[in-house]
Amino acid sequence: MTTVICPYCFDRAPAAKLPYRCLMSPSGVRGGAPCGPERDDIWAGFMGPGVPPAARMRGPVFSPARGVAALASGLRGGSGGSSVPCPGCGVSTTVRVCRSCHSDLPSDYCDQDSRIIALVGPKASGKSTYVSVLVNELNQRVGQAYGASLAAMGQSTQQRDKEMAEDLYERLRLPDATRPAALGFNDPLLYRLSVPRRGRLSGGTRHTTLVFFDAAGEDLAGAEAMDRYTRYLSAADGIVLLVDPLQLGSVRDRLPVHDGPPLPTVETPPQQIAADLAVQLRAHGKGGSNGRVSTPIAVAVTKTDMLRPLLDPHSPLLRNAPHTDGAFDADERLAVHEEIRSLMTDWDSGALVRQLELDFARLSLFGLSALGAPPPSDAPADVPKSGPQPVRVEDPLLWLLAHRGLLPVRTTGKGRVK
């Protein structure tokens, strides 16, 4: 039986036991009368006190008769969109809801494996820009290399992707900062990743739901947001921690004087965010017997375009991975890991890298640039005039997917995924 993890509150439930929401369709089949809206205080309570009274009125939630949902799913072959009739109006609905928070789930979310990716970073680390550019690369350059496709699931993610793509690639504008949890709930981003199965006896396509949750790192230390974010972190299959090198004093001091945009304001130190992250994961049962957190973590140093003066001209950080034969190159991953580790060992006396290695059992270091160049000096909120020219934005996610066996891996042995 498929177990569904709600991407909003992270409650786990068998797919066959999820309730449904009536669509209140005017084409009712029982006397032509559709169902009317009802107060959904469970959903409103989860969303917070800012929900207006009118928004609480939603389609009635009901549990299908025993065996009906399982039968409907079986008739459809488990391919998504299984429907059951509303007991009130008789009209079939495909909208399933979380039994805990009553959030609506995309019609095909419950019919495939899910991988929850926690995206964490401080203000100004570029989380929103990173996700938008990553989605574009997975749909184009990287998707072509792996024969894969990425499709947004649900109206919220589809609308967000459309708006972000227009800002970044058409208006050449950077997105606004992620709002803290205290100001409202940040909807997760849901995608269906489709990759071809490999091997003589395989064939066909493997579908996996990716759930990205964009959390402001400052929320990890705030009691008001802790309950929601720690549930998210404890449910995560992997974590991407974005580290802005311009937040580190030693890096700021070593960069030459330049005509680019001003350096960002120093926010919560990366070392503090990493420490808070490890504390919360241990508190929710993710600490191993050796005291290190078991959840795989990809630590990505962002804005590597700003680090060019500190890099060797032949550094792998200056070019994208080749993705030869549609496989994740584990040896190349190791080369990037070792270069970033060498840099971080020299930054702030290596405090951050030491802490990461002591706190996390499965750690890989990455370097990336979402834009490929700094914003214009006279317009720091703009994208470079050439548009985003990303470098290695896909590496952290591909490592996490390869770690879970979702991608083929090439290696000579020394850089194997572990």
CA distance 262 to 380: 8
- All structural domains of the chain: 3-110 (no CATH), 112-410 (3.40.50.300)
Q: What does the pLDDT read at residue 55?
A: 93
3-state secondary structure of 210: strand
For residue 95, how many other CB atoms are within 10 A of its CB?
16
Q: What does the pLDDT read at residue 261?
A: 67
- Report DSSP letters for 44-94, one per residue: HHHH-TT--GGGGEEPPEEPPPTTHHHHHHHHTTTSS---EE-TTT--EE-
- CB contact at 8 A, 116 and 235: yes
The closest of 185, 267, 273, 269 to 232, measured between CA atoms, is 185
Q: What does the pLDDT read at residue 78?
A: 43
- CB contact at 8 A, 356 and 341: no
The 8-class DSSP code of residue 316 comes to G
> pLDDT by residue for the chain (418 residues), tens digit each?
678 889 888 888 888 889 999 999 876 565 568 899 999 999 999 888 888 999 999 999 999 877 655 555 544 444 445 789 998 888 889 999 999 999 999 877 887 788 889 888 776 667 888 999 999 999 999 999 999 999 999 888 899 899 989 999 999 998 765 554 444 446 788 999 999 887 655 668 888 899 887 765 555 555 455 566 677 788 889 999 999 898 888 888 888 766 566 777 777 788 888 888 888 888 888 887 788 999 999 999 999 998 988 899 999 999 999 898 889 999 999 999 999 999 999 988 899 999 999 999 999 999 999 999 988 877 777 888 889 999 999 999 999 999 988 899 988 866 566 6
Look up the pTM and report it. 0.87
CA distance 347 to 345: 6
Q: What does the pLDDT read at residue 30?
A: 56
Beta bridge partners of 402: none
Amino acid, res. 371: L
Q: What does the pLDDT read at residue 210?
A: 92
